[in-house]
Amino acid sequence: MYSKKIEAKPFSSALAIWSALFMLFLGILANFGIYTEAAEQMSKWHMFFSTSVAGIVGGMIEAAIVSFIGAYSFIYIYNLFVKD
């Protein structure tokens, strides 16, 4: 039988990568005039995101850190309640 616990580090790392890639694609598409309103909202929610190159990189780093910490915390708490 397998363990019902989730490995927090690989899952959180994967989510951090996906979040950073989403920010990258959103920033690139906003520079082409696509999803500009979504990029506008994202710049309101994230303090380092903008459509400039530095803003996109800053948003990617911020999204990766926030999603890693959030997912790791959630999985850690989840694993406290799951039996082996």
User: Distance from CA of residue 7 to its chain's centroid?
Assistant: 18
Q: Establish how many alpha carbons lie within 13 A of residue 23's alpha carbon, considering only the half-sphere containing its beta carbon.
A: 31
Q: 71 lies in a domain?
A: yes
Q: How much is the pTM? A: 0.87
Structural domain that includes position 24 = 8-81
Round to whole Å and give the CA distance between 67 and 14. Answer: 10
User: Is 3 among the domain residues?
Assistant: no
| Two tokens, residue 19 | 């979040």
Query: Is-contact 16 64, C-beta < 8 A?
Result: yes
Contact 62, 22 (CB under 8 A): no
**What distance in Å separates the CA atoms of residue 23 and residue 39, rounded to the nearest whole number?**
9
Structural domain includes residue 2: no
Is the residue at 17 inside a domain? yes
pLDDT digits (tens, 9 = 90+) for 2-28: 678 899 999 999 999 999 999 999 999
Looking at the structure of the chain, the number of domains it has is: 1
pLDDT band for 69, please (50, 70, 90 cuts).
very high
- Identify the band that residue 78 occupies on the pLDDT scale cut at 50, 70 and 90: very high
